[in-house]
Every structure is written in C-alpha cells, then in structure tokens.
A and B are shown apart, each in its own frame.
Chain A
Amino acid sequence: MMALLKRDLAIATRSGGAAMLGVLFFLAVVAVIPFGIGPDLNLLSRIGPAILWIGALLASLLGLDRLFQADREDGSLDMLVMQDWFGLVATVFVKSLAHWLATGLPLVLAAPLLGLLMNMTALSTGAVMLTLLAGTPAISFIGAVGAAIAVALPRGGLLVSILVLPLAIPILIFGVSASYAAVTDPDPFLPPFMILSAITLFFAALGPVAAAAALKGASD
C-alpha cells in the first residue's frame, strides 16, 4: 500500500504534472474573479474566503477523472480489481489519499498567497487554510466515487464533475461558514468546523467502499 501511494505520488508530480496543473488552475480561477467584479479591495476581502473555497473545489475536481483512467489504460486497474474486497477498498482509499496529497495539499499551501491577493487578513487566511486542510480530503474521497463510475467512459471528465458537485455542496457550505465564523465575532468557529471534519471522516469511510463497488461493477 505504501508502494502504491509512492507510485501514485510519483506519477502525479512527474509526468504530466497533475499537481502543478491543479494549483495553476486554482490561481487562474481566483485571479479571474477581480476582473469580473472589479478591484474593490474591501469587497474582495469580504468574499475572499468563499472565492478561495470555490476555486479549491473546482481545482480538486479537475484531476479526478484521471484517478482510475490511467490505471485502466495500462491495464493495472484489472489487477487492482482482482484482489479481494477489503484489498480493493484499501487500494481505493490509498489512491484517493494520494490524489489529495498531490492536488489538495498544494491548494492548501497556495491559499496564503491568494489570500494576500484577495486582501484578506492573516486570521481569515489562516481560517481558510485550516478549513481547506480539513475539507479538501472529503472532495477527493467522494470524488473517487465519481471517478470510479465514469472510468469506463471515453470522455468522463465533465460527467465526473456533474456527478460529484451536488455531493460536494455540504463540504463547501460548512467550509465557507467555518471560515467566516472565524472572522466575524459572534459566530462560533467550532460547530461548523466539527461538522466539516465529520463530513470528511464520513466520506473517507463511504467513498472508498462505494467506489470499490462501482469499479467491481464496471469490470464484470
């Protein structure tokens, strides 16, 4: 399993550079916003956390369709599906984790820079980083389900986003509300943050099982 993690990470960072592409997409999405709504720094600092979250959500969806597609193309997916049930679930878990390490974690690290561009305070940027750190794994785990469903399709990329986005809405809601709660005084930070963490844990349990079932179903 460690070997699989290392292999997936190596693929993501070297050839094609999916990890770098995700961060660049994140940068591009966030950089487009001021052009759309005008360079009003007060407004930008107010909506900054939400923009960063939406950008991170879209960027994490970007590489999802490649999660199993590359393995399917070189045939190693069949080998992975042939193991027993728990092995397959564990494999999907590790692959989702690798996907998060390769695309989600760089987004978290890139968030402070973009927070600077959005004229956000240090506290607000820290809150966004913390909620992204807690919330983006959920996108990778639930995204694995979409990726597993669309693996057999030739142009599954768009379909994965359409299928996963409705399920990712709770992550966005609680991520953004926790980020705002950290800045605005009367709202408590902890409850939405706890719910966000709970969603991540729930999807970490549900996602690999559902994705494994879909992979098994697609292969036979």
Chain B
Amino acid sequence: MSDTTASQGWFTSLANPTRFLALSGRVLPYLAAAAVITSVIGLYMSFTAPEDYQQGITVRIMFIHVPAAWLAMMCYSVMAVASIGTLVWRHPLADVAAKSALPIGAAFTFLSLLTGSLWGRPMWGTWWVWDARLTSVFVLLLMYLGLMALHKAMDDPARAARPAAVLTLVGFINIPIIKFSVDWWNTLHQPASVIRLDGPTIHASMLYPLLVMAIAYTLIFFTLHFMAMRNEIWRRRVAAMRRQAAQSIGGETRP
C-alpha cells in the first residue's frame, strides 16, 4: 500500500465526514446549551435533595458518582458499536468516533473512581477495597489508557483503526462483568438500586435528581464527543493536506 493510494482513499471518503461536520456544527450549540441547562438544574436538585438519614451529606456524592460510572460504561459501549462499524463497513467516521470517545470515557471512569473513593473514606472507612465492582472498573480505566497508548504509538490513524477496534471489542467482555459484578459476587459495593426489574429501590426525592444528573451527563458526553470528533476530522484533514503538500514539493524537486 503506497502513500498516494491511502490519501486518495481518504479524500474520496471525505464526502461523509463533511456532511457530519455540517450537521454536527448546526446541532452542537443547542446540544451544549441543553447540557449546561440540565447540569445546572441537576446540580441544584442534587444540593436541595434531602440528606440520607444514615449517610448524611455524603449522599450528595452519589449524584456525581453514579452517572459518571454509567457514562463510563456507555462510552465504552459507544466505542464498541463504532468498532463494529470500523471492522464491518470500514466506515472512516466510525474510527473517528471510537478514537475521540477514548479520553472522555477515561475521564468519566476516573471521575467515578475518584468520587467513589471520596465517598468510601467516611462510609466504608477506607479509600479503596479490592472488591469485584471496584476492580472491574479499575480494569476499565486500564483498558481506556491502553487503547490511548495504542493510538499514540501508531502515527498513521488509518492503520491504527482496525487493531484498536479489535482490542475494543475484545475488551467489551468487561462491561457485563462490571454491570453484574455486584450480583455475582458478594461485594462491599451496593447492588443495583435504580435499573432493576422490580423498579428502583431509592426514594423519589433522590431518584429524580439522579436521573436529571444522568441526562445532564449524557448530554455533556455527546457534546464533548461531537466536539472531539470534529477536532479529529480536522486534524486528519490537516495531516492529509500536509502529506499532499510534502509530496508535491518532493515531486517538483526530484527530476
């Protein structure tokens, strides 16, 4: 595979990313505004929610912690779907989506670990325990970081796409393990209390702030993801143009 064919393939496939750029450019301001508004409402509701009779004020950490953990898993699922797109249809946008979701997902995972640790100190008496839920989320963080290292190690994004997609799909087996770790093993982490068959087991006064925060986090995720995807597309275009320019200069100087 020579360099020219690669850049030609890249330019012919630009039709679709261009449409994405136009569309996301129009949607993005509204998405960002919605994210900000729901975050403000969600934070207000979180701080006015009643304190837990056992946990006291530390229960408010949950409104930050739980949506972050949900989004960490959702982000990986988005990446897994995008990876299928990369492997099956070789869609260039799918690779961009998977790659630009990486740092966001790593940030959400880190946030959930950090807030969980802050909550665990007063409640469990320890910053960290090696129970199944915590360990599996920690493995998720390691996989995000490993994938980021893989992308860093390869200079050509087109060649990093498929290996990274394979690794993302192999790592997806961790997501059900995270979800069901609290059911399969006896863990210190409490079992699922919102998404369960017989309905949520927490009181409405805490459920609604939690759900609003979850919506806010989701909106924040998509806002950031679209912005990161646009950046990634522009970055690749600049790289392709540079390569083009370097080639044309090389062609002129060489006889």
Measured CB to CB, the residues of A under 8 A from B are 142, 145-146, 148-150, 152-153, 156, 159, 162-163, 165-167, 169, 206, 210-211, 213-214, 216-218, 220
CA distance A107 to B162 in the complex (A): 33
Given the known inter-chain contacts A162-B146, A213-B87, A217-B166, please indicate yes or no for A167 contacting B159, CB distance below 8 A: no
Instruction: Tell me whether B169 and A162 are in contact (CB under 8 A).
Output: no
Q: Summarize A's interface: helix, strand, loop or mixed.
A: helix
Instruction: Tell me whether A214 and B142 are in contact (CB under 8 A).
Output: no
The interface size of chain B toward A, counting residues with CB under 8 Å, comes to 24
B139 to chain A minimum Cβ distance, whole angstroms, is 5
CA distance A49 to B156 in the complex (A): 43
Q: Report B-chain residues with C-beta under 8 Å of the C-beta of A166.
A: 139, 142-143, 146, 171, 174
26 A-B interface contacts by CB (under 8 A)? A142-B170, A145-B167, A145-B170, A146-B167, A148-B163, A149-B164, A149-B166, A149-B167, A150-B153, A152-B154, A152-B159, A152-B163, A153-B154, A156-B153, A162-B146, A163-B150, A163-B167, A169-B135, A210-B166, A210-B169, A211-B166, A213-B166, A214-B167, A217-B161, A217-B162, A218-B159
Which of B87, B139, B146, B162 contacts A218, CB < 8 Å? B162
Asked if B22 is at the interface (CB within 8 A of a chain A CB), the reply is no
Q: Summarize B's interface: helix, strand, loop or mixed.
A: helix
Instruction: Tell me whether A149 and B1 are in contact (CB under 8 A).
Output: no
Q: A162-B145, A162-B146, A217-B87 are in contact. List 20 more A-B contacts (CB 8 A).
A: A145-B170, A146-B167, A149-B163, A150-B153, A152-B159, A153-B154, A159-B149, A163-B149, A163-B167, A166-B142, A166-B171, A166-B174, A211-B166, A214-B162, A214-B167, A216-B162, A217-B165, A218-B159, A218-B162, A220-B1
B184 to chain A minimum Cβ distance, whole angstroms, is 11
B160 to chain A minimum Cβ distance, whole angstroms, is 9
CA distance A165 to B171 in the complex (A): 11
